Structure 1
Amino acid sequence: MEVQGKIKKIDETKTFGNNGFRKREMVVTTEEQYPQHLLIEFVQDKCDLLNNYQVGQQVKVGVNLRGREWVSPQGETKYFNSIQGWRIENLQAAAPQGNNPPVPPADQFEPAQDFNEEDHDDLPF
């Protein structure tokens, strides 16, 4: 099963218990008529999958639905659901570059030292 949307929140990894169980939660907001804010948990080695993602990114997350039963000391039975992530993919693909190399931002160019306004160029405009 997959969930698509925008990352609203990414928590830090938390460790529980003596055996070092790890869990990291994120919230993805779906983009539909009635947007849903879905809490998705990543556990153990899957926590590290979130390291390269940030709030605001469009993602597709592979998830499993988990459910469990719990019986209270008073004998009352309750049920809990969770959404567990196991894969995440960035949906904001880079624009195709064709055969041209990427151009650095303008502020990364060094100023020309030998620039002369009077020099002729062959540009048609």
Structure 2
Amino acid sequence: MALEITGTLIKKLDVQTGNSARGEWQKQEFIIETTDNFPKKVCLNVWGPEKVSEISGYREGEVLKISFNAESREFNQRWYTDLRAWKIERADQSSNDMSYSVPESTSFPTAPDTDSDTGEDDLPF
């Protein structure tokens, strides 16, 4: 399930590292604030050294467009949900790609005046 959110980068939390059966891992969480009428703060995360270095390229205060997956898992009869970002881009960059020029309105020619007093009727009935 891929979702998308746009918001202002509020804070980048510290990088977390560890070892698992598959080797070393890196994870970084960051907070954005949505640009809705009623703004909400949302915590998302990225996994892997490539994504961690990618998020370090963004500054706090920048408006980002983030594609992410929501993943939940159970541990000790409690459920935990991750919002894992897989694509991050500046919001102004994506809006420029989709900008379209609106053609100026063209006026239509006016219909010719018909004279109904001449007695001529073009209608077949």
The answer to whether TM tops 0.5 is yes
* Residue 26, structure 1, aligned to residue 30, structure 2: yes
Q: Distance in 2 between matches of 1:35 and 1:57?
A: 15
Q: Distance in 1 between matches of 2:19 and 2:33?
A: 30
The equivalent of 1:121 in structure 2 is: none
1:35 pairs with one of 32, 39, 61? 39
The equivalent of 1:102 in structure 2 is: none
The equivalent of 1:114 in structure 2 is: none
Larger Rg: 2
Q: What is the SS of the residue equivalent to 2:36? A: coil
The TM-score with structure 2 as length reference comes to: 0.65
Across the aligned residues of Structure 1 and Structure 2, the Cα RMSD in angstroms comes to 1.7
Runs of 4+ in 1 over 3 A off after TM superposition: none
Q: What is the SS of the residue equivalent to 1:48? A: helix
The TM-score with structure 1 as length reference comes to: 0.65
Structure whose residues are more often strand by fraction: 2
Number of residue pairs the alignment of both structures matches? 89
Deviations 1:2-51 (CA, angstroms, capped at 9, x unpaired): 11010001123221236321001110100112211000000113222212
Unaligned residue ranges in structure 2 (runs of 5+): 97-125
How many percent of aligned residue pairs carry the same amino acid?
20
